[in-house]
């Protein structure tokens, strides 16, 4: 299934942002709990997350309080494996 459409929040795909480059701006107008903005941050993208719920904005802010270098080094092999699995589609 080469043309599989991925809907919703697929963290494995977001782990690499294959459609953008470092330094690009990622916009999520329905940010919710911040999965997209967190992955943008971890992959050296600038980001804008918008949500109408103050509760979810606060959750998203908390999720961004992580150390990028530690997260990436701790999860490097897992991320590579997931990307390899997704590349089959």
**What tens-digit pLDDT sequence spans the chain (89 residues)?**
343 333 455 555 556 667 788 889 999 999 999 988 988 888 889 999 999 999 999 999 998 888 777 776 766 677 677 667 666 65
Structural tokens at position 37: 């903005």
Q: What is the pLDDT of residue 27?
A: 93
The pTM of the full predicted model, rounded to 2 decimals, is 0.63
User: How far, in Å, CA of 9 to CA of 26, rounded?
Assistant: 14
DSSP 52: S
According to the model, what pLDDT value does residue 48 have? 95
Task: Give the C-alpha distances (Å, rounded to integers) separating 5 from 12, 16, 34, 37, 88.
Answer: 14, 17, 22, 21, 13
Predicted confidence at residue 65, as pLDDT, reads 87
Where are the chain's structural domains?
22-86
Cα 82 to Cα 15, 18, 33, 78, 79: the distances in Å are: 9, 13, 22, 6, 5
């Amino acid at each position: 299934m080469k043309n599989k459409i991925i809907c919703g929040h697929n963290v494995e795909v977001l782990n690499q942002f294959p459609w953008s480059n470092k330094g690009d701006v990622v916009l999520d107008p329905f940010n919710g709990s911040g999965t997209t903005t967190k992955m943008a941050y971890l992959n050296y993208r600038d980001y804008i997350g918008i949500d109408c719920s103050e509760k979810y904005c606060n959750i998203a802010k908390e999720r961004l309080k992580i150390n990028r270098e530690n997260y990436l080094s701790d999860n490097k092999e897992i991320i590579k494996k997931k990307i390899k699995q997704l590349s089959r589609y």
